Structure 1
Amino acid sequence: MKRIALLILTNLAVMLVLGIVLQIIFAVTGINSRGIGGILTFALVFGFGGAFISLAMSKMIAKRSVGAEVITEPRNADEHWLMERVAEQAKKVGITMPEVAVYQSPDMNAFATGMTKNSSLVAVSTGLMQNMTRDEVEAVLAHEISHIANGDMVTLTLVQGVMNTFVHFFVSIVSNIIQNVLGGDEEGEGGLGFIASFAISMVLYAVFGAAASVVVAWFSRKREFAADAGAATLVDKQKMINALERLRGGNQHEMQGQFAAFGINGGFSSLFSTHPPLEDRIQALKNQ
């Protein structure tokens, strides 16, 4: 379930790097003083470019971040069973068999990622394999396969691209306004220096980037319900409910990534959560 957190964090990092490049381009060319059209064009290119670069890097970053080992030849009965279940479910939804990986972690966790439906990765933790029944693991796999079949990663990337565009655009506009307010004549003399302007832009990227992440996280929560419903169709509704009950009993943290590390908690943390509360997901399945 680290899939979205990894994509969001990767995107924020890529957007920050592209933002630095964008600010340098503006400083050298002066495009930010030539009108809204130039800013919007750059914002679109850099916004969607950053989102799709993040998507292209998603499998590599996911593998490295958790130390996932892709199964090429099953080494034991559990890995053989895992490969068979993923292959069976992939066939049912009409996608190419994803890469299957296992990573060492005591947490009960799993994620799916990849740039396309037919170039994807499903990874499960050792904690998931050890602490869940096979029926429950099968349901978790079906949930991740449903994410792939639904094209959630690409759709989320498009949403992220739109948000990135707004971030780049408003950072450029607001930083330009601040520079005009704080100093400088019509010829640009006496205004803020490049370092001060750059610092202002980076602060704005942090603020607007966090706001954009709230929107992306909201969309992600909506897609979780759809993946749960897809899993219920692929395997069995009760198996998916049992898997979620097991996760709830295991005290899994709904919020991951940098926001958990920052210690954000309470009601505010729910804005950044990429998954709905387990209770809500269980109730939604029961109501199907």
Structure 2
Amino acid sequence: MLAPSLGLVIVMLGASAFWIKIRQGQLLGKGVKVSEHQLPEVHQAALVASERLCMRKPDVFVIQSPIINAYATGFLDDRKTVVLHSALVEAMDEDELLSIIGHEFSHIKCDHTNWIVLTNTAENVAKIPIVSDIIGFIFLLWSRKCEYTCDRGGLLSSRNLKASTSALAKLAVGKQLFERMNLDALLEQKKDVDASDTSRLSELFETHPHIINRIHELKKFYESDLYTKLTA
């Protein structure tokens, strides 16, 4: 029984890796590759983020999308890619964009892109009742921890708590509503989140922590001795 299962895992893993390579190849044809001559302000932010995170700069692409979002992709080899949606680039100022790029670069630096492929493959193969549910919850917990880690990477890149915080807020409500939003009142919303059993429980089913929690954890990290040591 073990041999067919292992074979299935290898086949699915290979298929996932192949599909990721195809998606990366498509970016060259339908996206804009950032360079010193193409969207130089984005390129400069990528250079700063990679230097401050002590890593090799991945390829960065911008694709047209009205959704404010970004993601990192790649598997095993050195060719990792970060994709920024056009709406995100348009919505963020210089330091906010630096924080977002640093966040995505951190996914690559910490090998999250590799582990996501492996965990997704394991979850698809292990369709055993209860066991697959346990694996799924472990993955969700790990995924949320990854986001907290990469939020720290974004802050280490921007060195600007306000910018990193406002970048997260813009992900929550968009650029236009952010201009009318009270950021201090948003921070106070943490009390309502902590007081709501339903809100805390709902986070267990998400790949990303609640934006409110991410902002508060970012503030705690900014005030920590670890942040001071890493940015000294």
- What TM-score comes out, normalization by structure 1 length? 0.57
Structure scoring higher RCO (CA < 8 A, sep ≥ 6) equals 1
Percent same amino acid at aligned positions? 25
Q: Deviations over 1:162-189 (max 9, x none)?
A: 434533xx48xxxxxxxxxxxxxxxxxx
Structure 2 distance, partners of 1:278, 1:151, is 23
User: 1:45 is matched by which residue type in structure 2?
Assistant: G
Structure 2 distance, partners of 1:274, 1:110, is 15
Task: Summarize the alignment of residues 32-71 of structure 1 with structure 2, pairs less than 5 Å apart.
Answer: 39-61=1-23, 64=26, 68-71=30-33
- The answer to whether residue 208 in structure 2 is matched with residue 285 in structure 1 is no
- The answer to whether residue 200 in structure 2 is matched with residue 240 in structure 1 is no
CA contact (8 A) 2:102 2:158 kept: yes
How big is the shift at 1:272? 4.8
The structure-2 alpha-carbon separation of the partners of 1:249 and 1:163, relative to structure 1 and needing over 3 Å to count, comes to closer
Structure 2 distance, partners of 1:62, 1:270, is 31
The structure-2 alpha-carbon separation of the partners of 1:210 and 1:52, relative to structure 1 and needing over 3 Å to count, comes to farther
The structure-2 alpha-carbon separation of the partners of 1:105 and 1:269, relative to structure 1 and needing over 3 Å to count, comes to farther
- The answer to whether residue 147 in structure 2 is matched with residue 224 in structure 1 is yes
Counterpart among 99, 103, 108 of residue 148 in structure 1: 108
- The answer to whether residue 36 in structure 2 is matched with residue 112 in structure 1 is no
Q: Deviations over 1:32-75 (max 9, x none)?
A: xxxxxxx222212322542353144225336759x851416566
Secondary structure class of the residue paired with 2:71: strand
The structure-2 alpha-carbon separation of the partners of 1:83 and 1:117, relative to structure 1 and needing over 3 Å to count, comes to farther
Range with greater deviation from structure 2 (101-110 or 80-89): 80-89
Structure 2 distance, partners of 1:156, 1:225, is 16
Task: Summarize the alignment of residues 1-288 of structure 1 with structure 2, pairs less than 5 Å apart.
Answer: 39-61=1-23, 64=26, 68-71=30-33, 79-116=39-76, 118-167=78-127, 170=128, 213-238=136-161, 239-250=163-174, 270=203, 272-288=205-221
Structure 2 distance, partners of 1:93, 1:269, is 32
The structure-2 alpha-carbon separation of the partners of 1:100 and 1:42, relative to structure 1 and needing over 3 Å to count, comes to same
Gaps of 5+ in 1: 1-38, 172-206, 252-265
CA contact (8 A) 1:48 1:161 kept: no
Structure 1 distance, partners of 2:213, 2:62, is 28
How big is the shift at 1:125? 1.0
CA contact (8 A) 1:244 1:278 kept: yes
The structure-2 alpha-carbon separation of the partners of 1:125 and 1:59, relative to structure 1 and needing over 3 Å to count, comes to farther
Secondary structure class of the residue paired with 1:123: strand
Number of aligned residue pairs: 196
How big is the shift at 1:231? 1.7
Q: Deviations over 1:109-129 (max 9, x none)?
A: 111111147211111111111
How big is the shift at 1:222? 1.6
The structure-2 alpha-carbon separation of the partners of 1:226 and 1:123, relative to structure 1 and needing over 3 Å to count, comes to same
How big is the shift at 1:139? 0.4
Residue 227 (structure 2) aligns with: none
CA RMSD of aligned residues (A): 3.3
Gaps of 5+ in 2: 178-198, 222-232
| CA radius of gyration, larger in | 1
User: 2:206 is matched by which residue type in structure 1?
Assistant: S
Residue 200 (structure 1) aligns with: none
Structure 1 distance, partners of 2:69, 2:32, is 16
How big is the shift at 1:243? 1.0
Structure 2 distance, partners of 1:229, 1:145, is 11
User: 1:248 is matched by which residue type in structure 2?
Assistant: A
CA contact (8 A) 1:108 1:125 kept: yes
